Amino acid sequence: MFILRWLGDATARRGPEDILGTYERQARHFDAKRSRGGMEDGWLTKFAGLLPDGPILDLGCGAGAPIAEWFAARGRGVTGVDGAAAMLALAAQRMPEQDWIQADMRGLALNRQFAGLIAWNSFFHLTPHDQAAMFPIFAAHLSPGGPLMFTCGPAAGETWGQVGGEDVYHASLSPDAYRDLLDRHGFEVVDFVVEDPDCNRHSVCLARKCQDSSRATSMV
């Protein structure tokens, strides 16, 4: 986990526009250092328990470990999306049978829906404005009844962590703002834990797209 602390008035440093370049350069370092201790397993199990049949969409999939690997090991098809080609190359080496797509999640339009959508430690690299704009994209790519799960910060603000000695930007809306966005885009919150002590103090939101598709934003 690369969040240091959440600040309301962050000092000017490398911004969100630098994220993909950083992960392109630091792909192997990040993959080598990424925890595989299973801290996410409880949340992944909750998410999996809500899944209908079909593949999942992993936004900001990185090198595929451990999130995509967890689902693939349980027989789920995975479509991984990441903006860093070097990350996707590692994912494809690890799991060549899965689908890997280089794209910026902010403009994603795959014209299909998935059984579940996860954005674990990826969505929080976007600005608050861009995060809010992702909710129609989430809704467009998720089948009715399917789960959505993402990590965020414990409060509204911006901060920086580091990957391989390079700054990486993080941002968050408030939990109430996420709840409002989910409601407005046709989701119901299943669980939302701020700084979960059982998940290395990650803040995690698990929601489900309502079966009444008229509440959700149409396909982008």
Domains and CATH numbers, the chain: 16-215 (3.40.50.150)
- 165-199 burial, b if ≥16 CB within 10 A, otherwise e? ebebbbbbbebeebbebbeebbbeebebbeebeeb
- Read off the pLDDT of residues 182-210 as tens digits, 9 standing for 90 and up: 999 999 999 999 999 999 999 999 999 99
Backbone angles phi, psi at 5, to 5 degrees: -165, 160
Task: Please list the alpha-helical segments (H only) found in 55-108.
Answer: 67-72, 85-94
- 26-60 burial, b if ≥16 CB within 10 A, otherwise e? bbeebbeeeeeeebbeebbeebeebbeeebbbbbb
d(C-alpha 199, C-alpha 145), whole Å:
25
Predicted structure pTM score: 0.88
Sequence-distant (≥ 6) Cβ neighbours of residue 212 within 8 angstroms: 144, 186
- Read off the pLDDT of residues 61-86 as tens digits, 9 standing for 90 and up: 999 999 999 999 999 999 999 999 99
For residue 217, the tally of other CB atoms under 10 A from its CB is 15
